Structure 1
Amino acid sequence: MTHSIFDRTFAALATVAVAAAAVAGFWILGTPGQQRLIMSDRQRLEDLSAIANTLYWKKQDQDDYVLPETLDPEDQREDPITQELYRYTKLDDSQYQLCANFATDSSTHKIANTNPKNWQHPQGSYCFELDVNQAAPSLY
């Protein structure tokens, strides 16, 4: 009789502990769907960084390089979800913007924020102002 009460109590406590751990995991990491959105935003940042680095290295290789009005087709990249091209806007001879639509606000990620300060973004459309004379900020 004593073992039966102990077993039931232990089973109830174990069930509560597992449920609490699952809730805490979802609270800290987010749901699998939220993690997919974060990973798609991470891919967007990697694409924007790659475009910026391409422009930077073209500038380094050519003394007379001038920012193009539009990106060459081989320099363009597509959003991983919408397959739309990222937006590029030349601001002046050395300044330009790269824009994307982000699924999440990077400042709300509960785990230590993996986006460096220069790549922080809100949810929705956001543009990064960059300079072709400087390498793109590192993502890592």
Structure 2
Amino acid sequence: MKYFIYAVITIVGIAVIAGFFIVGSPGLQRLRRLDETRISDLQSIQSEVIFYWQSKEKLPAKLEDLTDQVRGYKAPSDPETNLSYEYEIKGEKTFALCANFSLSLGPEGNNAAIPIPARGYSKPGFAEVNWNWEHTEGRSCFERTIDADYFPLIKDQKTP
């Protein structure tokens, strides 16, 4: 009976250690979840910037301009620091979104095994557009250029 208890304790200990190697520590999982939230937030902001451009034929001057009481949208902030994400206009249809990430994500990063799907856009006659969200640990920026053919102005869209 004594050996049985030791065997069970050993097996449970090995299982816990193996779990940390396979899944990672709870702290690492928390960092991954924070980064996943950051990517999701940036995807949401990107969609709203594109919608703003389609509606007003210009990029918003700042993220606060995306606030829409009717649709209930307010640009999210970083889940850990509660600070606003960085947004910068780079050109007439080009902008950058930046965030501070806890881990790397991509071919060179430690977090490469954890996929974060990019929100794709598809439209008849066009290939699906998937944005790249690979990033390094620390501050990373994602520059985007709006394709006016793919995202036409709302006033130019024809209804059937």
TMscore range, shorter length: 0.7 to 0.9
| Matched residue, 2:144 | 130
Q: Distance in 2 between matches of 1:123 and 1:8?
A: 48
Paired AA for residue 45 in structure 1: I
The CA deviation at 1:73 is: 5.8
**1:23-56 deviations in Å (ceiling 9; x for gaps):** 1111222221221111111111111111100111
Q: Secondary structure at the match of 1:108?
A: coil
* 1:53 alignment partner, one of 35, 47, 51: 47
Q: Which runs of 5+ in 2 are unaligned?
A: 68-73, 119-131, 152-160
- Cα-Cα RMSD: 2.2
The CA deviation at 1:114 is: 2.2
Deviates more, 1:26-35 or 1:15-24: 26-35
Q: Which runs of 5+ in 1 are unaligned?
A: 1-6, 136-140
**1:104-138 deviations in Å (ceiling 9; x for gaps):** 2223237x422247112111111011123367xxx
| Matched residue, 1:69 | 61
- The structure whose RCO (Cα within 8 Å, separation 6+) is larger is 1
Q: Distance in 2 between matches of 1:109 and 1:13?
A: 34
**1:37-80 deviations in Å (ceiling 9; x for gaps):** 11111111111111100111223334xx1123323162533111
Q: Distance in 2 between matches of 1:77 and 1:15?
A: 45
Q: Distance in 2 between matches of 1:113 and 1:123?
A: 14
Structure possessing the higher radius of gyration over alpha carbons: 1
Alignment TM-score, normalising by the size of structure 2: 0.69
Alignment TM-score, normalising by the size of structure 1: 0.77
Q: Secondary structure at the match of 2:88?
A: strand
| Matched residue, 1:104 | 103
1:14 matches 2:8: yes
Deviates more, 1:46-55 or 1:70-79: 70-79
CA contact (8 A) 1:96 1:130 kept: yes
Q: Secondary structure at the match of 1:26?
A: helix
The CA deviation at 1:102 is: 0.7
Q: Distance in 2 between matches of 1:73 and 1:54?
A: 7
CA contact (8 A) 2:87 2:95 kept: yes
Count residues with an aligned counterpart: 126
| Matched residue, 1:120 | 134
Paired AA for residue 21 in structure 1: A
CA contact (8 A) 2:37 2:79 kept: yes
CA contact (8 A) 2:34 2:79 kept: yes
